[in-house]
Chain A
Amino acid sequence: MYRKLSVLLLMLSVVLWVSVIAVPMIGAQDANQDIYGRDLPEDAAPYDMQVWTQLCDSTRQETSLSSVVTVYQRICGDAHIFDKFGDSLVDLDENLNLIPGAAESWEPSEDGASWTFKLRPGQVWSDGTPLTAADYVASYRFMVDPANAYDFVWMWQGTIRGWSEAVAGEITPEEMGMEAVDDLTLVVHTDGPRPYLPGTLYFWPPLQAKALAELGPNYVLDPATSVSSGPFILTEFEAGNRVVVQANPTYNGYRKPFLSELRGIYGDQLNGSFLAFQNGDVDRVNYVHISPADFEVVAADPVLSANYRPNFGDFRTDYLFFDTYNPPFDNQQVRLAFAKALDRESIVANVIGSQFGIPAYSFLAPGFPASDTEGALKPIQAYDCDAAKALLAEAGYPDGAGFPAQELKLRGESESRANWFIAAAASISDCLNVEITVNNMEFSAFMESILARPTTLQFGAVSYGMDYLDPSNMLGVWVSTGRHSWLNAEFDQLVQDANVLVGDPAARLAMYQEAERILVEDVGGIFLVHRIQGDLFQPFIAGECFRPDAQGVSALHWGNDWCWGSFYITNGVMDADTYRNR
């Protein structure tokens, strides 16, 4: 009797204990697994700490979280919060080669005048709707529609067939050269062979065709209506205050995130980013928000300096330019005199800092396709004050006599960046005995002046970085229909021919190299510095993203959107004082 009772009690207690332990685990998130059921990396912090926060700029003009709606006014623009609700057709690896994104493959037609993209099967929106080629078509039709006044239409003008005509309202968006052949097949027709077309499709995760039609483009701004086929989904949004995206449980694309949440919080991004970083409030600071004084702190701190990761960024080059249609800069000798009076080595060493830039003697930065890796162009504009004086004298201005005073106009540069150009002006002025003042203009006013035809900007300085990895993009700003008042017919022809050349990549690159030689020799611009960009990360940020590239550089490279599927927070965060554990 007692034995039976004991067995019964024993069984009951076992059941009780099993219930106590097992029931809370049913449906619970394992601390070491992500929402896709994958084990986190061995050194990862628990999943509830897989949060990433960045500071956004309170003063920026921001209107959408999607590049399909705007490029220049993206919300939390340099903090990588936007465009997480879908995958672009293609992505870039750490060596900036195209890799599959939403498209698993792509190929040109035999004549090179159209490209066919095959989408990965099984991709789905968070509301259960399948992601199809029609979503991409609807997004591109939205961009080209004049009624939507898209701000980045130049990207495919002269590239996608009918794009320019649709922007001008001469044909309907539906007639533009993009079609969904079936759910998984997207065909893009071009204005002739455009070998660089796939690279231009890198930026644009799609909007959902259905939501776009029913709710308009602002559906992405409301967590109640926002849908996602990308790695994250919008959960909170207060304009100018806070934006939160969380891992999208229905995502089955190529970059499933270990991070559970990305947060953008608003503040004084320019002056407050490094302070917030030091305080453990944010996880990454871009180099443009780290002042020279902050950099001294970084350099002196072994942990900080180990986690500052330089990269090529968008291969940005800072340079000086002229109105070459009018005196005195219509004279190539004058331009070359100015170029040879610029002591770049000294400016980079003493003003810019050699860790932040490489003296530039041409436009395309080292590593960019068709760039002057051998330094063959260097002697053309290299510093030689005596030669510069001689050139200016030959042009009719011996020792600067009679040369009109110049104003070097800048595009609303930060104080530290303005100092680069003040030093450049001083170098030219000292060598040539010409008067140069520097005027740091307001951004919009500068852009209006530079783009006006005839331009109202005689002498200025600015920078440019790529939009896609092809010389057609970078050199495109120098063609006579680009943003500068410099015309060289031979340069224009070479760029135009190279842009459409297919089947011989080596010959194409050689044409761009020749075009750049003309640009340097004819002194369309005076090239000052190729920027070395970078990001400061908290030491507990890790991920495959930081695997070294072919040059051994370990960084978050421009365009490496796959990185957001690799980042995670290591358990080193447990010992750090951050917002996660306060």
Chain B
Amino acid sequence: MTGYIIRRMVALFFVMLMVSIIVFVLMNAVPGGPFSLGERGYTPDAMANLERKYGLDKPLLERYWNFLSGALRLDFGYSFAVAGNPPVTDVILRTWPVTLHVGIYTIVLSFGLGSLMGIVAAYRRNSWLDNAVTFTATLGITLPNFIIATFFLLIFGFQNGWGQDPRKWIIPPLSPDSLPLLSWDYFLPVLTYALAPLALVARYTRSSVSDALSADYVRTARAKGLSHRAIMFRHVLRNALIPMVTVLLPQIPNLLTGSLFIEVVYGIPGLGKFFVTSIFNRDYPMIMGLVLLIAFFWGLTYLLTDILYTLIDPRIRITGRGSA
């Protein structure tokens, strides 16, 4: 197992290398640049000064090499677009905890409640409970979260002023400098953010559990006179977990790296917005830092998924080079 993990980590390193090359080339190929701002643009001298200041006057290959040698030391350079031009690593370290708080609560809510809803729906197939879960899941999947966020703001923040301090629903006072472990300030962002993954979890759980419930081994277990609990935990859930892990685990990197809509609508000073704004602002160092961060997360998630398979299903064994 250890050897397998090491091989996968080495492979992940090369994946990240390829990702960095592709993204570096693409972002430099896109029309416009970090300084194509303003009404009148820049004079050639001013543009030359800007490019020199930010190292954009060097050949692409040299710039990539500079980036790579820095990145190996976790130094992604200085942001073009954040106040004071701080190092990208500082921006990530400062803002990511805010996003992580929201993301972890979202995972707990969506995976916890979603799987519970899915199991109940599978057990009560075609009942009103099943219909209610299906309806909720469909709603969660089809409604974009920026629509939900706006409605929540209107309902809770403005019209009803729910809570002691209605202001918090419009401008939550979350801050990297004062980040409570638990706070009502997380409520609306987490609820909004959780609806789509909750719907997905509920749907897949229902489908997987339903399939398992109709399987021959469950009929056999019932014929053997096993209790409902034993059938559920030993046979149904364990077998239902494999497709769920395959589909649902990759949701986690997305949830832990935040969402532009959630963070902008609720005024959360997190990392998620930078995934979009740094592209529009052509903040090259930030783009590279974030892309590598998320590539690392995705790679790690797939590794974790493969390892989980072996724990869930005894038929799956990591036996040799590249096999799982």
Using a CB–CB cutoff of 8 Å, the interface residues on chain A facing chain B are 55, 58-65, 71-73, 75, 146-154, 157, 164, 167-169, 218, 221, 237-242, 265-268, 271-272, 275-276, 278-281, 442-451, 464-465, 467, 477, 482-483, 579, 582
Contacts and interface: CB of A to CB of B under 8 A. Distances in A.
B170 to A, nearest CB: 5
B77 to A, nearest CB: 15
Specify which of B31, B85, B171 lies most central, judged by the most chain A CB atoms within 10 Å of its CB. B171
Contact of B171 (A153, A240, A276, A444): A276
B33 A266 contact: no
A58 B36 contact: no
Interface of B: 30-43, 45-46, 49-50, 52-54, 80-86, 95, 150, 153-154, 157-158, 161, 165-167, 170-171, 175-177, 260, 263-267, 269, 273, 276-277, 280-283
A63 B82 contact: yes
Specify which of A58, A64, A242 lies most central, judged by the most chain B CB atoms within 10 Å of its CB. A58
Contact of A465 (B39, B158, B175, B281): B39
Nearest to B37: A72
A187 B187 CA distance: 59
Contacts of A240: 82-83, 95, 269
Given A60-B277, A152-B38, A218-B85, 16 more contacts: A61-B283, A62-B81, A75-B83, A154-B43, A164-B45, A167-B49, A240-B95, A271-B150, A275-B158, A279-B167, A279-B170, A444-B31, A444-B282, A448-B36, A482-B40, A582-B165
Contacts of A63: 80-85
Contact of A151 (B32, B50, B82, B175): B50
Contacts, number: 183
A72 B170 contact: no
Contact of A444 (B33, B153, B161, B166): B33
Contacts of A55: 171
Contacts of A448: 31-33, 36
Given A63-B85, A149-B53, A444-B32, A241 B176 contact: yes
A149 B85 contact: no
B36 A447 contact: yes
A146 B52 contact: yes
A278 B46 contact: no
A75 B85 CA distance: 12
A151 B158 contact: no
Contact of A153 (B45, B84, B161): B45
Contacts of A148: 49, 53
A448 B260 CA distance: 26
B49 A449 contact: no
Contacts of B170: 267, 272, 275-276, 279, 281
Contacts of B38: 71-72, 151-152, 447
Contacts of A446: 32
B83 A64 contact: yes
A58 B154 CA distance: 20
Contacts of A241: 175-176, 267, 269
A491 B158 CA distance: 54
A61 B80 contact: yes
A41 B177 CA distance: 37
B267 A268 contact: yes
Contact of B158 (A60, A147, A221, A278): A278
Given A239-B82, A272-B170, A582-B167, A151 B177 contact: no
